[in-house]
Amino acid sequence: MTYRVGIDVGGTFTDFLVLGDDGTRLVHKTSSTPADPSLGLATGLEEIASDAGRSLSEFLAEVDLIVHGTTVTTNALLTRRGARTGLLCTHGFRDALALRQGTREAPYDNRLQPPEPLVPRYLRLGVAERTDYTGDEVTPLDEAGVRDACRRLDGEGVEAVAISFLHSPTGPTHERRALELVREAMPDAYVTASSDLLSQVRYYDRTSTTVLNAYVGPIITRYLEALVRRLDGLRFGGVLLVMQSNGGVATPAEVSERAALSLLSGPASGPTAGLWHLAPHGEQSCLTIDMGGTSFDAALVKDGTPLVMTDAIVDRWRLALPTVDIHTIGAGGGSIARVDDGGLLRVGPQSAGAAPGPACYGRGGTDPTVTDADLVLGFIDDTTFLGGQMRLDREAAERAIEARLAGPLGLDAVEAAAGVYDVVNVAMATGVREVSVRRGLDPRDFPLVVAGGAGPVHAAAIAAELEIPMLLVPRESSIFCAAGMLMSDFKHDFVRAYKSTLPEADLGRIGALLREMEEQGRGILAGEKVEPGQIEVHAALDLRYVGQWHELTLPVRELDADAIAAAFHAEHDLLFGYSTAEAPVEVLACRITTTGITQKPEHGLAVEAGDDAGAARIGERPVWSPLERRLVPTPVYDGHELGAGAGLSGPAIVELANTTIVVLDGFELVVDRFGSFVLYAGERGRERSAALTAAAG
């Protein structure tokens, strides 16, 4: 027997999915340990081994693959506990981090202050050197100045150095020589050159990304080295892979080199998991939502590919590396509800996290959270939470809501809890609009795949707010991202600056750049033991109308200027509602994505259970009805006893070991042949559900 394990370390829980080569599927959750995430990871593995009647070493000896999503770098950035970092830049440009893009983030917020740069000004050192925009040298690199800067940085205890010179995408010689000099003078420092990490225009974006990479580089390197040592000591002889923000996996060595790609490691696998669950139904597009204990993530998959962006913002800093387009807000089960100074109810982004957690956890928390509200409203039960492994304190939840919310608002506890439910649902619906409407896409045209321990509790309300007619809740939705990690491919992205109007572009030069990047990607994948027949290569160009501020990234299959221009006009019209065919189009950069296809788990059929929903009914309890605005007696079903073909009408509650599905008034639920729960509303939803079920055979 051999196993593969997906591990997603979240802010409140660490999720595990164990797949055996005999079809075994084991779901496990344990509390996260924010102070040292590896402790929660090790604890979860020990619990899994114990449940199987084995020691941890015995279990790990049979594990072929571990895919790990981590929040180590995210937490380091959010808490400002990254490495002490220095920046070498072109003389006269050390304030680029403070000036940012030269525009205000929120034009109408006069009080918003820019964030404090990750590198203080006295550690941002200018070096005499200059190349022009074509890459030709104007001023030679002052090597003595670089060495002097290294002495100053070393004396200040700097452990990571970012190098970002002006126009280095077209003339990287100075940066690469400076990189050699820094490594000679500071052999123990983590060093990143912008031309190696992100060879594209826009000096602030490139500098910010390079600084982010250096800032978290030593953190992720130490974490992965310690994790590898711990696993080696426990006789783990398999392969360890790490989830990247671009939706692919990579080896620890590659992730350590491009550390900024781990900043959104955990949620990046969600879209892949959503697509996998819908694939047997013939669907190639979907929206995915994942509501965990701390945050809510929304993403969109179109035509079989998760949407990717190159202008992500992480804690108000630009991350210009290709990143799965995930909109994240502080709206999870642990999000704290409060009444602000103006008397308005607010939910999040502050979270109670894993410790102390919601008031109902009984760990000393006193702030009311979304989970406390869900408990008071009857959506979750105090005796069956996490399959009965964790008893919730209903009275503590009521006390927290009454003291902090109901009293100040002049409501009773149930009404105040309903207000929390409504506010957080609207916030999450807005998050879904961000990844769909912003791209010119109608969310009503996409099935909604629901994930996270808290996601199925709120999904029907989100769908109703957005008029989405159909949603799918995988049976393993509570460990959605952990599952997605075992379905993800190796993926590496490359970019080279090339600026020219399209009619004047040297297509031969563009082709040469694409081939150079392809060779680089194939080399990395070969080092990761990917067979040549399992490699896919996709080319793209960054394009815009001359004079525009932003560009679009457009897939390219053939280097034909007329065809590229026509495709750009069509995409621009789709996203912005207009195109200008007579306006010149210019190229800004060439991109290559190399993908190494990995083995995917099989779709298992539904567990042996009945198709008679009535037989699965285990009772009823008072549950909040958004339609009637009161608690009403609602039937409760054991989801594990609902087999393929079982159906029921809302309002209803379906309880699973690690989550609860709330079926609101107006929704119908049916179990598909793979054990997933399909919810639909209205005639359009019924048609989509019928088509989806038919496609699955």
Report which secondary-structure segment, H or E, holds 17. strand 13-20
Q: How far apart are CA 236 and CA 202, in angstroms?
A: 44
Higher pLDDT, 599 or 94: 94
Name the architecture of domain 82-215: 3-Layer(aba) Sandwich (3.40)
User: Checking DSSP bridges between strand 326-329 and strand 296-302, what pairing results, if any?
Assistant: antiparallel
Tell me the DSSP string of 333-348: TTEEEEE-TTS-EEEE
Residue-averaged pLDDT of the chain? 89
What is residue 54's predicted lDDT score, i.e. its pLDDT?
85
The backbone region for 388, taken as left when phi is positive above 0, alpha when psi lies in -120 to 50, beta otherwise, is left
**The predicted structure's pLDDT at residue 15:** 85
The distance of Cα 177 from the centroid of its chain, to the nearest Å, equals: 35
Structure tokens at 316: 């108000």
pLDDT of residue 307: 85
Q: Could you read off the pLDDT of 205-229 as tens digits, one per residue? A: 999 999 999 999 999 999 899 888 8
Q: How many residues does the chain have?
A: 697
Which tens digit of pLDDT belongs to each residue from 69-120? 887 888 788 778 899 999 999 999 999 998 888 777 778 888 888 888 999 9
Cα separation, 540 vs 538, in Å, equals 7
Q: Quote the pLDDT of residue 351.
A: 82
Other C-beta atoms closer than 10 Å to the C-beta of 548 total 13
Which tops the pLDDT comparison, 313 or 171? 171
In DSSP notation, 156-173 reads TT--EEEEE-TTTTT-TH
Residue 630 host element (H or E): strand 630-638
Residue 695 reports pLDDT greater than 60: no
Rounded Cα gap, residues 213 and 589, in angstroms: 21
Q: What integer pLDDT is reported at residue 11 of this predicted model?
A: 66
pLDDT class of 29 with cuts at 50, 70, 90? confident
Average pLDDT on 343-360 reads 85
Q: How far apart are CA 633 and CA 606, in angstroms?
A: 29
Residue 697 has pLDDT above 80, yes or no: no
pLDDT of the residue at 569:
95
- Average pLDDT of 493-498? 93
pLDDT at 696 over 60: no
pLDDT of 675 reads 85
Contact 292, 453 (CB under 8 A): yes
Residue with tokens 């009914």, as numbered in its chain: 617
Give the least confident one: 289-298, 361-370, 421-430, 669-678: 289-298
pLDDT band at 684 (very low <50, low <70, confident <90, very high): low
pLDDT computed for residue 277 by the predictor: 86
- Model pLDDT, residue 593: 94
Sorted by where each begins, the domain ranges of the chain are: 82-215, 284-488+602-697, 494-596
| Helix axes 455-466 and 413-436, enclosed angle (nearest 10) | 70
Torsion of CA 623, 629, 630, 633, to 10 degrees: -40
276 Rama class: left (phi>0) / alpha (psi -120 to 50) / beta: alpha
Both tokens of residue 236?
Answer: 């783990």
Amino acid identity of residue 162, one-letter, is A
How many other C-beta atoms lie within 10 A of the C-beta of residue 681? 22
Q: Which 8-state DSSP code applies to residue 361?
A: G
Provide the β-strand partners of residue 638: 655
Return the residue matching tokens 């491009």: 258
- Can you give the pLDDT at residue 601? 76
pLDDT digits (tens, 9 = 90+) for 604-643: 666 666 678 888 999 999 999 999 999 999 999 999 899 8
Residue predicted with more confidence, 76 or 541 = 541
Judge whether 477 and 502 are in contact, CB under 8 Å.
Answer: no
Give residue-wise pLDDT tens across range 560-581.
999 999 999 999 998 888 999 8
> What pLDDT score does 233 carry?
84
The answer, yes or no, to whether residue 134 has pLDDT greater than 70, is yes
């221009």: which residue's tokens? 565
Q: Which phi-psi region, left, alpha or beta, contains residue 157 (left: φ > 0; alpha: ψ -120 to 50)?
A: left
What's the Cα-to-Cα distance from 473 to each of 166, 281, 459, 470, 669, rounded to whole Å?
Answer: 49, 14, 9, 10, 10
Q: What is the pLDDT of residues 436-488, one digit of tens each?
A: 888 788 999 999 999 888 899 999 999 999 999 999 998 877 777 888 888 88
What pLDDT was estimated at residue 115?
86
C-alpha 321/C-alpha 503 separation (Å) is 28
